[in-house]
Amino acid sequence: MRSGEGRAPGRRAADPLSLSLPPVGGGNGASSDLPSPPRGEGPGERGSHPRTILVALALLLLAVPAAAADAERGRAIVVDRTKGLCLLCHSGPFPEQRAMGTLAPDLAGVGARLTLPEIRQRLADPAATNPDTVMPSYARTDGLVRVAGPLRGRPILTDQEIDDVAAFLATLK
Ligand code: HEC
């Protein structure tokens, strides 16, 4: 995430303004007074613009995880049969769903039965409350067997998605 920083720090410190200037093809703009070798590492002036974007992106990325959990997105994940697949086992207050599972507790009222952290733990590590559970961990990436190549090393749901699902379930009171 920091990859945009630390590159040519000297130049940045000397003239932070050059960071926000658009590239002017060889226009010898803000940094013309610098003794820096513009042609050395990549195209001199032009380098500052992508770096501006990188810095902006890095700041954005830092801001994104702070985004609040989105219950509506969470509901979509729960009913999505290609994603959460929760309704393979669970039923719940989803009138638009024609078939739902009967293997697991109905999700209606789960927000009254469990706290938000408890719900989150059920999703991330169901075996913590029941070592014999058939419910998969939606966060785990290790200890799994026969995972298809492209899916290896990836959890079923991202942290953000688990937050969204938990936020949604917490509303089911
Ligand atoms: C393969 C079946 C299966 C799938 C798929 C599954 N679960 Fe479960 N889940 C269970 C079972 C069985 C339980 C009952 C407790 C246990 O076995 O740990 C459970 C328990 C829970 C609980 C605790 C319920 C309570 O009232 O105590 C929550 C919350 C939950 N599941 C949410 C989900 C969500 C959300 C998904 C999809 C992202 C999901 N589950 C997918 C089988 C499943």
| Ordered domains of the chain (ranges, CATH) | 2-66 (no CATH), 71-170 (1.10.760.10)
Terminal C-alpha separation, the chain: 39
Give DSSP secondary structure letters for 38-106.
TTTSS-HHHHHHHHHHHHHHHHHHHHGGGSPP-HHHHHHHHH-TTTT-GGGT---S-TT-S---SSS--
Find out whether the beta carbon of 97 lies less than 6 Å from any atom of ligand 1.
no
Mean pLDDT of the region 8-17: 47
User: What pLDDT digit, counting tens, does each position of 85-107 carry?
Assistant: 999 999 999 999 999 999 999 99
The residue type of 112 is A
Residue nearest to atom 29 of ligand 1 (CA): 119
Find out whether the beta carbon of 127 lies less than 6 Å from any atom of ligand 1.
no
Find out whether the beta carbon of 122 lies less than 6 Å from any atom of ligand 1.
yes
User: Which pLDDT value is given to residue 152?
Assistant: 85
Considering the chain, what percentage of its residues have pLDDT values greater than 70?
A: 66
User: What pLDDT digit, counting tens, does each position of 52-89 carry?
Assistant: 777 776 666 666 555 789 999 999 999 999 998 999 99
Q: Are 89 and 135 in contact (CB under 8 A)?
A: yes
**How far is it, in rounded angstroms, from Cα 67 to Cα 17?**
30
**87, 132, 135, best to mutate for ligand 1 pocket (most atoms within 8 Å of CB):** 135
104 Cα to the center of ligand 1, angstroms: 6
Is the pLDDT at 18 greater than 50, yes or no? no
Number of CB atoms found within 10 A of residue 150's CB: 7
| H or E, element range at 139 | none
Residue nearest to atom 28 of ligand 1 (CA): 122
Find out whether the beta carbon of 113 lies less than 6 Å from any atom of ligand 1.
yes
What's the mean pLDDT when you consider all of the chain?
79
Number of CB atoms found within 10 A of residue 75's CB: 21
Q: Which atom of ligand 1 is nearest to the CA of 106?
A: 26
145 Cα to the center of ligand 1, angstroms: 20
Residues in the chain: 173
| H or E, element range at 27 | none
91 Cα to the center of ligand 1, angstroms: 10
